[in-house]
Structure 1
Amino acid sequence: MTQARSKQVSLQDTRYYHLISRCVRRAYLCGEDDYTKQNFEHRRQWMVDRIRFLTSIFAIDVAAYAVMSNHYHLVVYIDESEALAWNDYEVCQRWQQLYHSHPLVERLHKGESSCQAEIDKAQEIINQWRSRLSDLSWLMRNLNEYIARKANTEDNCKGRFWEGRFKSQALLDEKAVIVCMAYVDLNPIRAKMADTVQTAEYTSIFERIHDKASYINNKVKLPFTPKPLMGFMGKEHKNSPKGIAFSLLDYLTLVEETGKIIKADKRGKINEKICPLLRALGINSDDWLQLAKHFGKKYHQAVGSLEELNAFAAHTGKQWIGGHRQQAAIFH
């Protein structure tokens, strides 16, 4: 049975989530369809542009992404404090980039509200918009519906484009976040779509290496300052309200070395002297390679230590979270 999203998200446990959406049946998000010989590569840019547009409006940051042939991955950070810092006018500005305004809100801004009850209702609507602008379901709704409509129009068809609701996975600590980001960034190499992370276009690691998103569409005018990818803070993370608590150079080095082994499809071992991040994470080479290859298949719902998993289960009304045995040795 499908679970309510409120039972899959707990901001008191983590603000990081891994999101996945997959196309239904034979629908193609991107790539070339061997059956029809149609090429849908241009849709990758649709995804990058839309993600950039939405995250500039929402109080949600992207730490990693990968746009594949029939699915995509996002690792996001929900920043409620950003939404709370917006004044009411900015909330309305942001919401109206996606939806029509409400007559009561319009009357409030024009000073035409007729009574206190009308003012209170308008304020209630604005507060609801503020909450939705830091909500995963509303972000994914605006991403998936937009892409589905555009793809169906291009394909001259109707009906579902996405395979049900998006899947979400709570990343309960910094170790889980880094492992998941690496898994996402290595998707094109595992799928043999790219030989190296330097050529793995339409991924966050490509954007970080080349300091730009893949062929960013300069014609797209954003209503607010475009958000960059979430930054690596290194040793400065303790003084920053948000940011990935490791060195970007260490991360790039580790993912690049991992990609070489995955590409060779042979047993290999990562040198901890070359990749100090591996030692900092406390994960041995064999476990790291297994995570980089199978993280998305082995772990579901939430990833973290046993204590973190138990707390997440309690806060989301579950008896337990699957995968205790697999996670105990690594995420302790």
Structure 2
Amino acid sequence: MARMPRFLLTHRQTTYHVISRTALDGYPLGDQEKSLLLGIIQNLSAVYFCQVLGFCLMGNHFHLLVTMLPENEITDQEVQASFQQRYGDEYTLMPGQIPFYRQKWTSLSEYVKEIKQTFTRVYNKKRGRKGTFWAERFKSLIVEKGETLINCLAYIDLNPIRANLVDKPEDYRWSSLGYRFRSHRKDTFLSWNLGLEEYNVDSSKERLRLYREFVYARGGIDTGKGKVLEGVPLPECVERFIQRTRFFTEAGIIGSREFVRQGFEHFRDLIQPKRERRPHKIQGLEQTYSLKRLT
């Protein structure tokens, strides 16, 4: 049976939650491997036209929350700058090549494929092995900016807590929250473009404080600052949130009812449904709906 084509919106900025698992037994991504993978993601994110919002590198899989920019927003000069970033002075970009690279470097599929292929090539060379490292093709789902996006980001940053790897999410150095806390970098690797007004403040320290408190509330982590979130006792909130996290990995589209409905209409010809599909309400996440992934 042919695989269902991936849900991709190439005509506008679109945020995707990407998940990819290894094909090897156990937990082949140790500290060195995670450092290698993170470096590859950082390097390629400086070439591709994207904004990385979050990530988490675990022992046998990784999460990436990334916004891809559409071709029509990218100028010839920006393509030339990315080419220089990627190849340096070794090669010259010809004018006729610009459309090819503009399309390639705005493609989610090309972006993730190059991350995985680059990692596999270096990993295999270091270990004198051949063969694949990654399992089946990566999963991706479209995430609406705003409340849905920050919930998805919190889900990603809480992975080390669920796996009992650390007591506090910022202590895990291979996640976006840990990266922000440990580095205090002023680089442009991670974006705060979440679509929420409260994160538009100038102070990066204030943005980080707001987000950390949100993650602690969602994860049920004791901050010593009260036990109530939106009128619901914290343990119940946490349980409901954890129970619904599968929607952040298994849905095809997730967001408000209208966002999901519009997504369904956009992909109607691709899906070719036998019946009308309605947005599915996600209990425990206010005003959040999903379109179930089809196989």
TM-score band, normalised by the shorter chain?
Answer: 0.7 to 0.9
Q: Which ranges in structure 2 are unaligned for 5 or more consecutive residues? A: 289-295
Say whether 1:178 aligns with 2:150: yes
2:291 matched residue in structure 1 = none
* Higher strand proportion: 2
Distance 1:21 1:284, change over 3 A: farther
Residue 19 of structure 1: aligned partner: 18
Q: Residue 305 of structure 1 aligns with which residue?
A: 256
Greater Cα radius of gyration, structure 1 or 2: 1
Are residue 228 (structure 1) and residue 189 (structure 2) matched? yes
Equivalence for 1:295:
245
Q: Matched residues in 1 for 2:176 and 2:254: separation?
A: 21
Q: How far 1:148 sits from its partner (Å)?
A: 1.2
SS of structure 2 residue aligned to 1:210: helix
How far is 1:199 from its partner?
1.1
- Identical-residue share of aligned pairs (%): 22
Cα deviation for residue 3 of structure 1 reads: 2.1
What amino acid sits opposite 2:254 in the alignment? V
Alpha-carbon distance in 1 for matches of 2:12, 2:131:
37
Shift in alpha-carbon separation, 1:189–1:76, aligned structure 2, 3 A: same
Q: Does 1:250 align with 2:210?
A: yes
1:271 aligned partner? 228
Q: Which letter maps to 1:42? A: Q
- Normalised to the residue count of structure 1, the TM-score between the two structures is 0.69
Number of the residue aligned with 1:314: 265
Task: Look up the match of 2:164.
Answer: 192
1:3 aligns with 2:13: no
- Which of 59, 64, 71 is the aligned partner of 2:49? 59
Cα pair distance change 1:59/1:155, threshold 3 Å: same
Q: Cα distance, 1:239 vs. partner? A: 11
Tell me how many residue pairs correspond in the alignment: 272
Letter in 2 for 1:324: H
- For normalisation by structure 2, the TM-score amounts to 0.77
Residue 110 of structure 2 corresponds to residue 146 of structure 1 = no
Q: Which residue number in structure 1 is paired with residue 66 of structure 2?
A: 76
Q: Which contiguous aligned blocks of 4+ residues in structure 1 show a shift greater than 6 angstroms?
A: 236-240, 320-323
The alignment's C-alpha RMSD in Å is 3.5
Q: After superposition, give the CA deviation of every residue in 1:124-155 in whole Å (9 maximum; x if it has no partner).
A: x2111012112111111111001112222333
Structure 1 unaligned segments of length 5 or more: list them.
Answer: 31-39, 109-121, 214-224, 263-268, 273-277
2: distance between equivalents of 1:231 and 1:306? 24
What corresponds to 2:178 in structure 1? 206
Deviation per residue, 1:260-287 (Å, 9 max, x gap): 449xxxxxx9523xxxxx68xxx99645
- Partner deviation per Cα, 1:230-286 (whole Å, 9 max, x = no partner): 02686477899xxx9x94422211212433449xxxxxx9523xxxxx68xxx9964
- After superposition, the Cα gap between the structure-2 partners of 1:327 and 1:179, relative to the gap in structure 1 and judged at 3 Å, is same
1:92 is matched with which residue? 83
> Do the aligned residues in 2 keep the contact of 1:171 with 1:302 (CA within 8 Å)?
yes
Any conservation in 1 of the 2:244–2:282 contact (CA below 8 Å)?
no
Task: Give the superposition deviation at 1:192.
Answer: 0.8
